[in-house]
Amino acid sequence: MSEEIQMWTEKYRPRHLREIVNQKEIVKRLEGFVAQKDLPHCLFAGSPGTGKTTAALCIARDLFGEYFQGNFLELNASDARGIDVVRTTVKDFARTMSLGDIPFKILVLDEADALTTEAQQALRRTMERFTRTCRFILIVNYSSRIIEPIQSRCALFRFPRLDREDIIGMLKLISDREGVKLKDEGIEAVLYVSEGDMRKAINTLQAASALGESVNADSVYKVTGKARPEEVREMLRLALNGDFVQARKKLHELLIIYGLSGLDVVRQVHRETFDIDIPEIWKVRIADIVGEIDFRMSEGAHEEIQLSALLAQFSLVGKEIGKNKS
């Protein structure tokens, strides 16, 4: 980067991009594009809630300024993902000239990994023909679902999951500005249910704050429909100790109180499995069992029968561990 561009970047640093949380390397690269007033076709890949769509909006606002509305189009490929959309809406937008001093428009295809293969094949040619007047930003959760010809035409940006500290900092900032009392146990509960997804963390905070004066663990688990981790651990402890009947009663309580689906229970069990104090070889076997039960339920098997079978397997594992110890 030339000295002139570096001076421009320091003096007129894009004000939208700099507010993105914990994506410093990506922001630095995007700021360079803004400084040069240029942009390649981009592929933003990563987990939900890590800032992909936000980054696309920010770079467009920083590039276009007052001409943002006329030069920017966002399509959600999960709603419109057929070849007709590429041949009509996308092509009509891409072929027209831009407003202002930036010589191209930006078209964002959110959830582009939901595009059909035929639509992606049509898109590759459109990206080639109209590069001069339009740059594409494809946003995906799984980059492997995008065909190779499109991947080779794009600069790849991988968005990592957010750190605990980044999410905590944002939650505290929002709670201070909105006058919400956020307790430490509430923060930990939000972190547990959001799993690194900033969008989910903020939505959970907003929903929990509507229940009372302060946001605590009870309000968070109530609005998200998640069971407390300690209750899931208690159910697993009972099963491993061979108390299958009590473990099944505990399961029934969780389903009634929290209204969880069978898949929700299995996924929470999977998370808690690795914190159980048992030899690692048995954690391997339990993980295999949980995976099998998850597959059966996703294929339509009866939830209550499969969850009972899961607890039964835990009880059998517990007895095997007891035999080995003795």
CATH topology of domain 164-224: Helicase, Ruva Protein; domain 3 (1.10.8)
Q: Where in the chain is the domain with CATH 1.10.8.60?
A: 164-224
Q: What is the pLDDT of residue 78?
A: 62
Q: According to the model, what pLDDT value does residue 18 have?
A: 66
CATH of 3-159, one of 3.40.50.300, 3.30.1490.100, 3.90.1150.10, 3.90.650.10: 3.40.50.300
Q: What is the pLDDT of residue 10?
A: 46
Average pLDDT for consecutive 10-residue bins of the chain (326 residues)?
46 59 81 87 90 88 87 77 75 85 90 85 87 91 90 90 87 90 91 88 91 86 84 89 88 79 86 83 88 90 88 87 68
Report the pLDDT value the prediction gives residue 13, as an integer from 0 to 100. 46
Residue pointed to by tokens 């499109």? 150
Q: Where in the chain is the domain with CATH 3.40.50.300?
A: 3-159
Q: Report the topology of domain 229-325.
A: Zinc Finger, Delta Prime; domain 3 (1.20.272)
In the prediction, which pLDDT does 45 show?
92
Confidence at residue 148, expressed as pLDDT on a 0 to 100 scale? 92
Give all strands (DSSP E) within 115-154, no chain letters.
134-140
CATH 1.20.272.10, the chain: domain bounds: 229-325
Torsion angles phi and psi, residue 228, rounded to 5: -60, 140
pLDDT at res. 139:
93
The half-sphere exposure of 210 on its side-chain side, counting CA atoms within 13 A, is 8
pTM as predicted: 0.76
Cα(228)–Cα(55) distance, integer angstroms: 34
Strand order in the sheet with 155-159: 72-76, 105-110, 134-140, 42-46, 155-159
